[in-house]
């Protein structure tokens, strides 16, 4: 998708440049034809300079338009609900159920989805996954908190 936008932007710039060169050529020929001698040359140079200026302005305006129309990165929406024994994560994740991978390593929850989606969350305690579902882009993961044996001295 990004490469397609770059190609379209380059194609637009190239098209504007070619049309501008053709128009400059026509204007220079008309200026030389109308005013022969030094006046015609000065008029042709001024016409060419003005056309180059407007071609450059058009290219900049198209470049700004492409930059402004790129959507901002979307904020990741999720809820982390915790009680005494469980933690529940409800999150928006792009992809299908086959694309989604959820792993836990040292209290760090990692969620991987489609389109280079990768998020990490630090959990408050050691957990294990006991239920996971994915429906309509919403991931629902239920964790069971692991109890660590406390040492009484």
Average pLDDT on 76-83 reads 91
Partner residues linked to 90 by β-bridges: 79, 140
Is the residue at 25 inside a domain? yes
DSSP code, position 125: S
150, part of any domain = no
Mapped onto helix, strand or coil, the DSSP state of residue 17 is helix
Q: Which of 69, 86, 101 is the last residue of a domain?
A: 69
pLDDT of residue 79: 94
What's the whole-model pTM score? 0.50
Band (142; pLDDT cuts 50, 70, 90) = very high
Token pair 């280079």: residue: 116
Q: Is 97 helix (H, G, I), strand (E, B) or coil?
A: coil
The model's confidence at residue 124, banded by pLDDT at 50, 70 and 90, is confident
- Give me the CATH number covering residue 92: 2.60.40.790
Write down the pLDDT at residue 140. 95
Q: What is the DSSP letter of 40?
A: H
Domain end call among 42, 69, 96: 69
Question: In this predicted structure, which of 88-92, 122-126, 130-134 has the lowest mean pLDDT?
Answer: 122-126
The per-residue pLDDT for 70 is 46
Q: Which helix (H) or strand (E) holds 87?
A: strand 86-92
User: Which pLDDT value is given to residue 132?
Assistant: 94
Distance, C-alpha 142 to centroid of its chain: 31
| Residue at 153 is within a domain | no
Q: What is the pLDDT of residue 102?
A: 93
Closest CA to 125 of 148, 141, 102: 148
How far apart CA 90 and CA 20 sit, in angstroms, is: 55
- Return mean pLDDT, the chain: 79
């Amino acid at each position: 998708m990004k490469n397609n936008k770059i190609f379209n932007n380059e194609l637009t710039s190239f098209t504007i440049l070619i049309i501008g060169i053709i128009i400059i050529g026509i204007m220079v020929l008309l200026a030389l034809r109308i005013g022969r001698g030094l006046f015609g040359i000065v008029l042709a140079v001024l016409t060419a300079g003005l056309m180059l200026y407007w071609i450059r302005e058009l290219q900049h305006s198209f470049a700004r338009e492409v930059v402004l129309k790129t959507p901002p990165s979307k904020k990741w929406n999720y809820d982390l609900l915790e009680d005494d024994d469980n933690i529940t994560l409800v999150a928006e994740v792009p992809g299908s159920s086959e694309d989604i991978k959820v792993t836990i390593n040292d209290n760090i929850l990692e969620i991987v989805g489609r389109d280079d989606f990768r998020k990490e969350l630090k959990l408050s305690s050691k957990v294990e996954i006991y239920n996971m579902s994915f429906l309509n882009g919403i991931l629902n993961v239920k964790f069971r908190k692991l109890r660590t044996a406390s040492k009484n001295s």
